[in-house]
Structure 1
Amino acid sequence: MNARARKQWIAGGALSAMLLGTIAMASSAAADVNQDEDVQIQVSVTPVGALTLTVNNPSVTLNESTSDDIWAAGNREFTGVLDGVSVSDDRNDVPADGSWSVSGQVSNFVAAGLPEIDSTKLGWVPELTTPIPGDFNVTPGAPIAGDLQETPAGEGPGGEWLEGGIQTGDLLVSNGSSVESNGQSFGVKAGLNLTVPKNTPSGAYASTLTLTLMGS
């Protein structure tokens, strides 16, 4: 091989080495990968607990308690106690401006074959039993005298007396802030008074008191 041929071969060998080096560099760059992928995580936190009204004693018997003064006024009086009523709130999600109330509605007193006694003859005096009245922004409803009942002097636990008997929507108990009363249970009772004319026909009369809990 002459010198010229030898030089060409050397040059060719040098070129081959350079090409090999370029391939190695490209392989190293392809292995250096940095890639991000996002995964969304979702969860539904649903409300638990409830605002509930419980009535443990579904029946109340009124017994006569007529005094001489009531008889002299031409009337007869029957009294009893609505008890075993409670409101509980164990919700985990309570609106900041939420509140609740329990109101009453009374049907006329009826007995088979006899004239009805109008529901306005029934009055009540609501009172908290637990916790102490006034706690947690919960208050009993106003005392209400029936149509023929002599309105007592002074105030009841819920304030000044109203007259005219229990009307639809009259409050048994109310709460001004669900946040303050959340997690608590409140017992409620009410003294009942039915005053009727003393010439009311004798009979077994019955009426239905419907209590309605409303809240947010």
Structure 2
Amino acid sequence: MSKRLLARVAALTTGAALAAGAVVAVASPALAAPLGTVNLSQTSGLVTDSPMFASAVTSAPCPTGFGEESALRIGPAETGPFTNLTPSLGGGGYDKAPVTANPNRSFQLALGSAPANGRWWVVVECFSLLEGRHPDRFVTEIVVAGNQWRVPVVEATTTSLAVSPASPVEAGTPVTLTATVAPSGAAGTVEFLRGTNSLGTAAVSGGTATLTTSTIPAGSWSLTARFTPADPGSFGASTSAAASLVVNGPAGGVSKVETITADVDPGAFTLDVAQPPAVELLGGQVGGTATGALKQATITDLRGTNAGWDVTGQLTDFTGAGNIPAGNLTWTPSAAKASGSGAVSAGTPANLGDTRTLCSSAAGSSAGTFTCDAGLSLSIPDSVPPGAYTATLTLTLV
């Protein structure tokens, strides 16, 4: 007889039920977001330096429950694979304090050959004896050029704008806009703007970008140039100070103005759960672990206030033939923006023995539509009798 854990959600609540049987099949979760950064003792060096650097320290401890072992590794950015810069770190406690690791080999020795030019990641991975490697990592990017590596530093840029001919000009006159970007080695594009309206875009070459237009309408205008770098890891964006331009209308022309108003009502502020509202946790063996994924929650904030919001979860104990405390269920939240101008942050991985945050959006940047998910892992005590167990998880948007 197979054993599994079945969770059901009604409206904005989630429940779970355990049936008899045995055998667990758990797919590897996808990388959601870095756990944090790896602070290196130096920011550049040679790929043959041994050790590559003296020490590396993570920006935070490993997630709770994933502190039995840790590993400092290096590999191609995003894709991997990652190889050891030091033997695996044992002894436990890596979920109590930031991880410190000391490499004992060079970058080149770790790979077995000279690294290719381009982007690489130095990562720290966290392990649980029961659940293996945590799906996310601490990450710091480095760049390799020849036999040298370095942590990329974003260099600030400045952009200035010149307008020719000077004001006033007659409507239809070709106007040349020249943006100067410093440092001159910063590649990218410049968008020329009349207020918030785009006049066009030009590539930067040798530190300058030029656009000529004869379509600027009559009026007094504020013009700006906005630089977007081709390599945001090396150069920052910048916007010029405003330059004024007065364009006269045709001789003998007559101008009239109209006032346009619009009433704007507040939009939706909602929390929806993917249907059908049921979560299935696989595993269910006494003394083992059952895993699954929360049904996706969708948050829409079109109130027009950018006031911020939080989605929290509160779980009851699992009841059935026995009792499994709510704190035995752990979630690992993830979040993404579907649309809009705001931003969303996933909650911290934690057990659900108390009210926990699934995702949130800070005041000033909460407008839009967002999705929130979580991986679920239930630790089943070795003393509970087999049978059906049910719990209810209530998600609340405030």
TM-score (norm 1): 0.56
Residue matched to 1:168: 354
Residue matched to 2:319: 110
Residue matched to 1:128: 335
1:63 equivalenced with 2:282 (yes/no): yes
Identity of aligned residues (%): 33
- RMSD of aligned alpha carbons: 2.6
Letter in 2 for 1:55: V
Deviation string for 1:119-166 (max 9, x for gaps)?
Answer: 11100000014449xx8331000011xxxxxxxxxxxxxxxxxxxx21
1:90 equivalenced with 2:302 (yes/no): yes
- Structure 1, unmatched stretches of 5+, are 1-44, 67-73, 145-164
2-side partners of 1:117 and 1:49: how far apart?
A: 41
Number of aligned residue pairs: 135
- Could you say if the C-alpha distance between residues 180 and 130 of structure 1 is closer, same or farther in structure 2, counting changes exceeding 3 Å? closer
Residue matched to 1:211: 395
Residue matched to 2:348: 142
* Higher RCO, 1 vs 2 (CA within 8 Å, ≥6 residues apart): 1
- Could you say if the C-alpha distance between residues 129 and 137 of structure 1 is closer, same or farther in structure 2, counting changes exceeding 3 Å? closer
2-side partners of 1:50 and 1:110: how far apart?
A: 36
Larger Rg: 1
* Cα drift, residue 46 of structure 1: 7.7
Counterpart pick for 2:365 among 166, 180, 186: 180
Residue matched to 1:49: 267
Q: Are the counterparts in 2 of residues 104 and 167 from structure 1 also a CA contact under 8 Å? A: no
SS in 2 for 1:120: helix
SS in 2 for 1:168: coil
SS in 1 for 2:342: helix
Q: Are the counterparts in 1 of residues 284 and 380 from structure 2 also a CA contact under 8 Å? A: no
SS in 2 for 1:60: strand
TM-score (norm 2): 0.31
Structure with bigger strand share is 2
* Cα drift, residue 205 of structure 1: 0.8
Residue matched to 1:193: 377
- Could you say if the C-alpha distance between residues 175 and 55 of structure 1 is closer, same or farther in structure 2, counting changes exceeding 3 Å? same
Q: Are the counterparts in 1 of residues 336 and 344 from structure 2 also a CA contact under 8 Å? A: no
- Could you say if the C-alpha distance between residues 168 and 198 of structure 1 is closer, same or farther in structure 2, counting changes exceeding 3 Å? closer
* Cα drift, residue 186 of structure 1: 0.7
1-side partners of 2:353 and 2:370: how far apart?
A: 23
Q: Are the counterparts in 2 of residues 126 and 143 from structure 1 also a CA contact under 8 Å? A: yes
* Cα drift, residue 197 of structure 1: 1.9
Q: Are the counterparts in 2 of residues 55 and 85 from structure 1 also a CA contact under 8 Å? A: yes
* Cα drift, residue 210 of structure 1: 0.3
Residue matched to 1:70: none
* Cα drift, residue 51 of structure 1: 1.2
Letter in 2 for 1:207: A
SS in 1 for 2:294: strand
